[in-house]
Structures are given as C-alpha cells and as structure tokens.
Amino acid sequence: MTSRLAGPDAGALIRQARLHSGLTQAQLAARAGTSVSALSKYEHGHKVPTYATLYRLLRAAGATLRLVLPPPRDPTAPAVPQREPEPDGVLQPVGRYVAAIADYLPTWGVETAWRVLVQFADDFRAASRLAQEIAVAARPPSTGDRRFDAAFAALIEHLCREQRIPRPSWVDDEDLIAAPVWYVSGEDPETYSETPIAFAKHGVWIHRGAFASV
C-alpha cells in the first residue's frame, strides 16, 4: 500500500513552500511535472499526495522534507504503557487524557507524556463533531505541570479551529500559558516559523511535526 500524509497537513506544506518561493500554482506545477488542477487539490486538502509526490513538489519549490526521529529509548527503562484505541467516533473526555499525562510524567517523563497529546489529537480528528464538542466542553483538572496544561489548551484551541467547531472559553484562562516559554522542539528559527498560532499564544513553541502520529 502506498504511504500517504494527511491531506490538510500535506497541502499546507506544499502551499507554504510555494508561497515562500514566490511561485504561482502554474509555475510550481510546471516545475514538478503535474497539472495546476492536481496541485490545487493537494493544497486545499481535496486530494492526498503520496510521499513521493510530496517530496517532488517540495523539491520543485526549493524546499526539503526533513524526518526527525526521537532519540533511541533506553532499553533499561520501564515499558511504556499502551492504551487501547477508542472505537470509531468515540472520544473520551479531556480529563482522561490529562490524568494519563499526570500518571506518566513522574515515571516515564516528558517524551512519553507528550505521546498522550499526540494520541488525543488523533482521537479527536477521528471522532464525530458532537463527540468533539462534548469532550472539550469542561476545563479538565491540571496535569501537575503548567507546560502540559498550556500545551493541552493550545492543542484543543488548534484542533477546534482546524475542525471548525466552537472553541471552549476556558482555553483563554490566563494560567494556561507556559511560564517560562516552553520550547518543546528546541529553540531555532524553524520553531518560530512553524509553531501554530494557538501554541504560540499559550507560550508553547513546537515544530509542526510534533503532532504527527506515532
């Protein structure tokens, strides 16, 4: 089976690379050997490119696709607990994910706790609109770590904007801003250009790939 990226994510990358290079859709399509119609569908998420196609389009725009792998896991560390995936369309309340983060942080650390955020993003996107709205309606308890409290609020605001549903008012609470600023992916120029608006607002700076499925 051919590997593919999520449509909206791939489309945003292609469009960003094209605009950064100052190219029109016609110019990029000609460089990449594809049609303007196909390129437009990729950029708007109406068609999902294969990795090979994405690589070709980005290269034609003068950009590169970088794969960032986490450091090797210490084989002597305790096994990371696995959670059963939610049934299709079902989404647990945010508090369940928050509780998992609070449990994981002391024993398995930040990297494992971050995976809970990634899993929540995957579950949220797969859930029905009603399930999404119900899951985020009430503010969850604290994770015990202000960085993760801010990251969760930022993620929920980002997902609500992405899915075009009303964001809950509690994400604007002043205590849901990381202090000091949290550079999850390290502080470098790409962090400032790639961090989504909702995360920057909450003082959480990341690379866009930080929420790729793992």
Quick check: is 72 in a domain?
no
Give the H/E segment covering residue 202.
none
When pLDDT is cut at 50, 70 and 90, the band that residue 212 belongs to is: low
- Evaluate the CA torsion angle 110, 118, 97, 82 in order and state its sign: negative
Q: Domain range for residue 51?
A: 7-60
132 and 207 share a domain? yes
Q: What single letter denotes the amino acid at residue 185? A: S
Quick check: is 86 in a domain?
no
User: What is the pLDDT at residue 79?
Assistant: 54
Residue 53, domain CATH: 1.10.260.40
- Of 59, 25, 30, nearest to 42 by C-alpha is 25
**pLDDT one-digit tens code per residue, 29-62:** 999 999 999 998 888 878 888 878 888 898 899 8
203 and 107 share a domain? yes
When pLDDT is cut at 50, 70 and 90, the band that residue 213 belongs to is: very low
117 and 196 share a domain? yes
Segment of 63-67, 129-133, 158-162, 188-192 carrying the highest mean pLDDT: 158-162
**pLDDT one-digit tens code per residue, 10-32:** 787 888 888 888 899 999 999 99
130 and 55 share a domain? no
Half-sphere exposure of 200 (CA within 13 A, CB side): 10
21 and 126 share a domain? no
How would DSSP label each residue in 133-162?
HHHTSSPPPP-S-HHHHHHHHHHHHHHHHH
Quick check: is 79 in a domain?
no
User: What is the pLDDT at residue 65?
Assistant: 66
Whether the CB-CB separation of 51 and 5 falls below 8 Å is answered with yes
Quick check: is 81 in a domain?
no
Q: How many domains, the chain?
A: 2
User: What is the pLDDT at residue 211?
Assistant: 67
**pLDDT one-digit tens code per residue, 61-115:** 988 766 555 555 555 555 555 555 445 445 777 888 889 999 989 888 888 889 8
Whether the CB-CB separation of 42 and 10 falls below 8 Å is answered with yes
Quick check: is 89 in a domain?
no
Quick check: is 28 in a domain?
yes
136 and 44 share a domain? no
Quick check: is 67 in a domain?
no
Whether the CB-CB separation of 209 and 68 falls below 8 Å is answered with yes
